[in-house]
Amino acid sequence: MEHRSLGGSGVKVSLLSLGTMQFGWTADEKTSFAVLDAAYDAGINVIDTADIYSRWIEGNPGGVAESIIGKWFRKNPEKRAQIILATKVRGRMGEGPNDEGLSRKHIFSAVDHSLKRLGTDYIDLYQVHWPDEGTPIEETLRALDDLVREGRVLYIGCSNYSAWRLMESLWTSERCRLTSFVSLQPHYNLVHRAEFERELEDVCLNFGIGAIPYSPLAGGFLTGKYASNQAPPEGSRGAMSDRIQAYLKDPTSLSTLEIVKQIALEREKSPSQIALRWLISRPAVVSAIIGPRDLEQLEDNLGCLSVELTDEDMERLDEGSAR
């Protein structure tokens, strides 16, 4: 497995990161452990999670994915030091007015809870999950900087930030001499390009920010397992989310998928492997965060590492998916 520096930092991350949004949702604990074991054995050294994962399930308080990872670390304490453990703060974790957001108050309480669930005394990469318009950026960065100085957090990153907000954050860190973001977790894949490529990509390339995109397979759309005239497989993301249905109605997404499938046929690879390889070949991308729900999907996703795309393949994909 190839490892790359995370933005302007010295820490090395694997080309694929293991996302865990599916843990406790579409993957039970036993399967999640098996996926964690196999990903580790394959050389993946980044585990990405968030405090809010599986809070969208009715009656679920959140923290489920973090707890599963914590149990896995307790079973495998020797693996903790090798892992870049990335989690996130911002989402609502209780009913009170300060149980969400990026205030100093919420960050300090959220980090305590995440550390307990994860069964560790430090987080490698603490990410703000999405912006909080109600909190000055200086307050958020100062709280994160204090966590870094205390050793509870090693690096900080952001997710779902626009280019101007990321620049504002970087300038604030510089002006106030606070720890800076080293990574951005954007929504980026072959059918969702413009949001990242319009301005964020250049910010990442010019300001030492490592991009670690989420939803690299557009939630499963780019695996080619969905068709407009067929009901989605039972229990799949497509059966639970409107996002896949929207792609199935969008002509550019459908024609992009056709190109992905055609190149997959030519290269004797799966469509997901082509889509992942395209993403990790993009200039600002350091690592793509995959979200396999079982060992079979993990194995398929890992297969992207042995795909070689020619300049012509890249051009077909780039031109075909451009909007």
**Catalytic residue numbers?**
53
Q: How far is the CB of 138 from ligand NAP (least distance, A)?
A: 23
Check residue 192 for interaction with ligand NAP (CB under 6 A): no
Query: Is residue 39 within the footprint of ligand NAP (CB under 6 A)?
Result: no
> Does residue 48 belong to the site contacting ligand NAP (CB under 6 A)?
yes
Give the range of 94-102, 103-111, 196-204, 286-294 binding ligand NAP by CB under 6 A: 286-294
Tokens of 259: 């190109």
Chain position carrying tokens 């520096």: 5
Each residue 232-251 as x (binds ligand NAP by CB under 6 A) or -, in order, gives ----xx--------------
**Nearest to ligand NAP of 178, 290 (CB atom):** 290
Q: Is 199 exposed, middle or buried (0-12, 13-18, 19+ CB in 10 A)?
A: middle
C-alpha 15/C-alpha 1 separation (Å) is 7
10 Å Cβ neighbour count for 58? 5
**Considering only CA atoms, which of 312, 297, 236, 226 is closest in space to residue 267?**
312
Query: Least Å distance between CB 234 and ligand NAP?
Result: 10
CA proximity to 191, closest of 252, 263, 138: 252
Q: Does 109 bind ligand NAP (CB under 6 A)?
A: no
Minimal CA–CA distance to 253: which of 220, 296, 295? 220
- Whether 71 and 87 have beta carbons less than 8 Å apart is answered as no
Instruction: Lay out the site mask for ligand NAP across 245-284 (x = CB under 6 A, - = otherwise).
Output: ---------------------------x------------
**Taking CB under 6 A as the rule, does residue 215 contact ligand NAP?**
yes
Residues in CB range of 207: below 8 A, 6 or more apart: 8, 166, 167, 170
Residue 26 makes contact with ligand NAP by CB under 6 A: yes
Q: CA 23, CA 293: separation in Å to the nearest integer?
A: 8
Residue linked to tokens 């999950």: 129
Span from 17-25, 28-36, 202-210, 248-256 in contact with ligand NAP (CB under 6 A): 17-25
Instruction: Tell me how far, at minimum, the Cβ of 177 lies from ligand NAP, in Å.
Output: 28
Contact set with ligand NAP (CB under 6 A): 19-22, 26, 48, 129, 159-160, 185, 214-220, 223, 225, 236-237, 272, 289-293, 297, 300-301
